[in-house]
Structure 1
Amino acid sequence: MALGTRWRETLLILVSLHVFVATALDMWWNLGIAGRGRSLYFLGAQSMCTQLKGLSVGQIKLCHMFHDHMPSVGRGAQMGIVECQFQFRFRRWNCSTVDGDRSVFGPIIEIASREAAFTHAVSAAGVVHAISRSCREGELSRCGCSNDPRPGNLDRDWIWGGCGDNIAWGYKFAKSFVDVREKDKNHPRHSPELGRMLMNLHNNEGGRKAVYHYSNVACKCHGVSGSCSLKTCWQQLPAFREVGDRLKDRYDGAFEVKFNKRGTKLVRKHKRYNKPTKEDLIYIHESPDYCKTNPETGSLGTVGRECNRNTHGMDGCNLMCCGRGYNTFKKKIVMRCHCKFHWCCFVKCKTCEKIVDVHTCK
């Protein structure tokens, strides 16, 4: 694809972000849901970058330098939002995005809790993933296929050199773009703002590491009649669901931290635990209970949420409904059934109806 054509397509994608971001205010995560906005047209990259209101000063500068990366940043942010909602779908806080809110996820990110730790980590991971894949697809002018060296344990008869995901560039760009938002600020010692900044930087890195350290080698067979007498191999990103699962485990085992005596860095609060690594998530404050609607914390509450009365887990009606009880009603579900394969080559199904009990929190 010619660079001029790619630039025009990039511009068309980016200008569609403007209206929503302009109203949603200052958070780059809004690029992940900005497609809801209408299209405006700008004269060039300079105008385009300044109109993306979700960017900090440093991110605007990077946008000027890497304007063709911005659609990939938006896709990465969207991946993070979707994965967050999947991982927390059975919990009181289900990672709901808040329309018109400056932070996408609501005021919860202003609380230095486990949930804020996860949202920062999964969003940073999404950018690494999306940028790495865009490099491989030839969508970006500054990068191409992976230059990773041949793994030492690869069979010597296999060819190393297929076009792999450029995880090194994805990590490098994501580190610059995501972290500069925090580094744009200068906060005094012991201040809550400094604590959140240091926490966010640590968790951003944890998200990036969850992608960078878990890439794998993919191979394709060649040969007569699929004999696989020859293989071509390349570096491949982990599936993003694997990344989300890994970060959810880190969320469950997150480390509580506090300021050191000088108030310049965060250290583990409980000395009996090991020090958190760069892959671990950290938090400063305990989470709200999320049982009731609370605009100050960003909690939407659990009234009306579906629950499972047959389990004692977080999605169980007792925990999900915070002891308030639940309502039960009948719901008709229409589904495909009695599917049969017909030669050749299609599947024909009937339509079945099923009545199920649905339980929702009072």
Structure 2
Amino acid sequence: MTAEYVLRSLLMLFLALLSANASNWLYLAKLSSVGSISDEETCERLRGLIHKQVQICKRSVEVMDAVRHGAQLAIDECQFQFRNRRWNCSTLETMPVFGKVVTQGTREAAFVYAISAASVAFAVTRACSSGELEKCGCDHNVHGVSPEGFQWSGCSDNIAYGVAFSQSFVDVRERSKGQSPSRALMNLHNNESGRKAILSHMRVECKCHGVSGSCEVKTCWKAMPPFRKVGNAIKEKFDGATEVEQRKVGTTKILVPRNSQFKPHTDEDLVYLDPSPDFCDHDPRTPGMLGTAGRQCNRTSKAIDGCELMCCGRGFQTEKVEVVDRCSCKFHWCCYVKCKQCRKMVEMHTCR
């Protein structure tokens, strides 16, 4: 083993450790609240932030509770979207919260970065619209009469502010020195893809005004989509993510498809550098690699949630369990719903 090989290996390990810090801010979701921050020194005690994020925290202390909410939103949505997959976004009490999965350039990491950037933009924008932040409010650039003839009114979501804050807070790690160039390009691309998932699904909501419910006058405002719709869009991009590699064009480094037969990815697509592990077996040396033993599976499904694929060929065991459901629900005037509790036995299948 040559000294050059050892040096190269140590350098790669060092860069990997640096990358591991990139999504550590998601650890804020473990806090009950950061809204009680009363001084800038508290920002330095928040776990998971790098120095530049601490500086942003000090300048925007009142925004940090929205960031915490965004972190929880990202984790919840990740767990919903991947609930039927081998890797199901299980979190750890350590950093990074998803384990080493997000420190590698896999498509799972691509999803985590995209949903995280989107969640901060979403949560901060929602805090602006609800009047929780002094620095921002409704989007007052949306006013007057639209080309369609309706009056812009109400509180349009200030998505521009939310996106700008997400870009400054989430992207800052990737723009720091010492980051692996190809991984930084991947993360920045996926961060922006996540934010675009909100921008491309912005909608117009309206209210009619007039006698007896007529719509003589209609006032409208711009609103973000439900975050579930954002998560669905990013998950769809995950399923069609493009494997890329770094290439130098002139003095610029860019990411291009590894397979030249594939069409170039767009700004809204997810990209990844490394193939994913199979996630079948628990690896104690790799935090977050929990395996699928003990996971529930669907015996009749041929998809990834089916017992054949979920259990990785190890087989599964079946047991009957009692399930209690609400049933025979009736609406009582006025105004509540009363239900009975029905018990039934169902088969539950779990991977060996």
| TM > 0.5 fold call | yes
Residue 245 in structure 1 maps to residue 245 in structure 2: no
Per-residue displacement from partner, 1:96-140 (whole Å, max 9, x unpaired)? 11112x111001011100000000000100011111111111111
The question of whether the paired residues in 2 share the 8 Å contact of 1:107 and 1:296 is answered with no
Give TM-score, length-normalised by structure 2.
0.88
Aligned length: 329
Give secondary structure in 1 for the equivalent of 2:219. strand
The answer to whether structure 1 residue 78 and structure 2 residue 72 are counterparts is yes
Give 1:142's aligned residue: 135
Cα offset for 1:151? 9.4
Query: Counterpart of 1:206?
Result: 193
1:282 aligns with 2:271: yes
1:179 aligns with 2:176: no
Deviations 1:132-188 (A, max 9, x none): 1111111112111013435986531x320211110011111111111012112334x
1:50-89 superposed matches below 5 A: 50-89=44-83
State percent identity of aligned pairs: 49
- Please state if 1:32 is matched with 2:29: yes
Out of 108, 123, 127, which is 2:116 matched to? 123
1:336 is the counterpart of 2:307: no
The question of 1:161 aligning with 2:158 is answered no
**Counterpart of 1:305?**
295
Go from structure 1 to structure 2 and tell me whether the alpha carbon gap of 1:219 and 1:342 turns closer, same or farther (over 3 Å shift).
Answer: same
> Could you tell me which amino acid in structure 2 is paired with residue 219 of structure 1?
C
Whether contact under 8 Å (1:26, 1:53) holds in the other structure is no
Which ranges of structure 1 fall in alignment gaps of 5 or more residues? 1-23, 188-192
Q: Distance in 2 between matches of 1:140 and 1:237?
A: 18
Q: Which residue of 1 aligns with 2:88?
A: 94
From 205, 230, 234, the equivalent of 2:217 is 230
> Compared with structure 1, are the counterparts of its residues 274 and 353 closer, same or farther at alpha carbon in structure 2 (3 Å cutoff)?
same
Aligned residue for 1:147, secondary structure, equals: coil
CA spacing shift, 1:232–1:26, aligned 2, 3 Å: closer
Change (3 A) 1:151 1:106: farther
What amino acid sits opposite 1:269 in the alignment? R
Is 1:197 paired with 2:191?
no
Per the alignment, do residues 183 and 162 of structure 1 end up closer, same or farther by CA in structure 2, a change over 3 Å counting?
same
Give yes or no for the alignment of 1:256 onto 2:243.
Answer: yes
CA distance in 2, matches of 1:74, 1:237: 19
TM-score, normalised via structure 1 length: 0.85
Cα deviation 1:201-227 (Å, max 9, x = unaligned):
111111011112221111122233433
* C-alpha displacement of 1:318: 0.2
Q: Deviations over 1:278-319 (max 9, x none)?
A: 111100000000000113443100000000001100000000
Following superposition, the deviation at residue 266 of structure 1 comes to 2.3
Q: 8 Å contact 2:330–2:339 — kept in the other structure? A: yes
Retained in 2: the 8 A contact 1:57–1:184? Answer: no
Q: 1:143 is aligned with what amino acid?
A: C
CA-to-aligned-CA distance 1:59-102 (integer Å, 9 cap, x gap):
111111111111111111111110000000000000111112x1
Give the distance between the partners of 1:322 and 1:137, measured in 2 at CA.
47
Residue from 34, 41, 50 that aligns with 1:47? 41
Amino acid at match of 2:138: C
Indicate the SS of the match to 1:134. helix
Please say if 1:324 is aligned against 2:321: no
* 3-state SS of paired residue (1:307): coil
1:267 aligns with 2:256: yes
